[in-house]
Structure 1
Amino acid sequence: MIELSKQDGLWTATINRPDKANSLTKAMLSELADIADAAAGEARVLILTGAGRVFSAGADLDEARAGLATDAVWERLSGALAAAPCLTIAALNGTLAGGAFGMALACDLRVAVPEAKFFYPVMKLGFLPQPSDPVRLAALVGPARTKMILMAGQKVQADEALAWGLVDRVVDSETLIDTAHSLAQDARAATPAHVAGIKALVP
């Protein structure tokens, strides 16, 4: 349910479970973390995207009831993405919810379609977010807006997410992947060491 393509330094990992709103099992999360770890040694760019109209609804409901919602695998995945020395791009083909938020927050760039909505209903569900997610979210949008999402349960539309700095571009679904490829172009043409060196200079 995770598809990986590799082409000349560009890796694309696609969550392909559209019949379940791309909800994530522990096995899928572990596979994505493994891909991020491997990309650190081989890729110059890693794109994360989803199949269908939803990027990811978060944890698979059955596995969430069994403890996945608070499993350390989420933090392992976001940590692997944040630590990867390549350029990481979240190409958000639709709504992003719950723990899947951490994947996008850990990426260097985020591009979304106009229909995308962003929410993280931990207050309603009675869970704490993964520890690094509020820190990364606040770095992008500030503490008050972070609390609007995590504590007030607000769903943020794509245009508002762009104005807040939560996403970097909003483009239509037909050009989403092309936009991600365009953003990846310079890094793909560079050496892995050059990509890593520039990324290491940015706090």
Structure 2
Amino acid sequence: MNAVTRDQRERIVALLEGASAEPEVRAVVLTATGRGFCAGADLRGAPTAGERVAGDVARMIRLGAQRFIGSVLDCEKPVIAAVNGTAAGIGAHLAFACDLVLAADSARFVEVFVRRGLVPDGGGAYLLPRLIGPQRAKELMFFGDAVPAAEARAMGLVNRVVPAEALEETAREWAERLARGPTRALALTKQLVNASLDTDRSTAFAAEAVAQELNMTTRDAQEGVASFVERRAARYEGR
């Protein structure tokens, strides 16, 4: 069920950081093989209470689960989650951190932490209220019930639900469409939207103006304006 190991987490973080730095990467898809998207963190081998000292858990969460989710939010390329099955715990938060979420009709999302007597980590208490509001976020986190894909879409957690056999093709279509877009403009748009709920209007407007100033220095912005004036389709290079 693709429980996240430390090595797997570090590899995904490195791939996302690499995607930000590589101009040839224009979009990212996170998906999985098998019958599950991600069952959460792999808890095997975790230190027991007797082996821990004060501060160990907070450090582990900060450098592990939070850094993992942050790498998705901070990636400078649009990230699509293609959720092929159960996404539980940190697996659900991994999907919710993505810019766009596609789900197979067989997928489901589970805030599993309460079932283990744990506090949600990996940014769950930050992400969910911003997506569906505090009351619904508490319902999911307090009860830990599985949410089917169709219900998750109705809540606003998922952009689109497709038949399982169409998930890969749909994710590829979306990724290819994004990859043909103005990549730097998309990166700046992502930053503005992600920051918008944590800032006041004056700060958001100032950030918007700076983002547009920066974006107008890109070749893609110049191409977008030129294509409009010349009445032709734009040909973006991601630069």
Q: What is the TM-score with the length of structure 1 in the denominator?
A: 0.82
Residue 204 (structure 2) aligns with: none
Q: Describe the SS at the equivalent of 1:37.
A: helix
1:53 counterpart = 2:51: no
1:118-137 correspondence runs (5 A): 118-130=109-121, 132-137=123-128
Residue 39 (structure 1) aligns with: 19
The structure that is strand-richer by fraction is 1
Q: Distance in 2 between matches of 1:69 and 1:91?
A: 30
Q: Distance in 2 between matches of 1:49 and 1:81?
A: 13
Q: Describe the SS at the equivalent of 2:40.
A: coil
Q: Describe the SS at the equivalent of 1:112.
A: strand
1:1-203 correspondence runs (5 A): 21-42=1-22, 43-64=25-46, 71-72=60-61, 73-130=64-121, 132-202=123-193, 203=196
Number of equivalent positions: 183
Q: Distance in 1 between matches of 2:81 and 2:174?
A: 11
Q: Distance in 1 between matches of 2:183 and 2:120?
A: 33
Contact 2:65 2:122 in 1 (8 A): no
Q: Deviations over 1:42-62 (max 9, x none)?
A: 222111001011101112241
Q: Distance in 2 between matches of 1:95 and 1:61?
A: 17
Shift of 1:29: 0.9
Q: Distance in 1 between matches of 2:112 and 2:35?
A: 20
Shift of 1:32: 0.9
Q: Deviations over 1:29-75 (max 9, x none)?
A: 11111111111112221110010111011122414566999733111
Runs of 4+ in structure 1 displaced over 4 angstroms?
A: 64-70
Q: What is the TM-score with the length of structure 2 in the denominator?
A: 0.70
Shift of 1:157: 0.9
Residue 3 (structure 1) aligns with: none
Q: Deviations over 1:75-113 (max 9, x none)?
A: 111101101111100000001011222211210011111
Task: Report the AA paired with residue 52 of structure 1.
Answer: G
Whose radius of gyration is greater, 1 or 2?
Answer: 2
Q: Distance in 2 between matches of 1:30 and 1:69?
A: 18
Contact 1:25 1:63 in 2 (8 A): no
Q: 1:56 to 1:183 in 2, by over 3 A?
A: same
Shift of 1:178: 1.4
Contact 1:59 1:69 in 2 (8 A): no
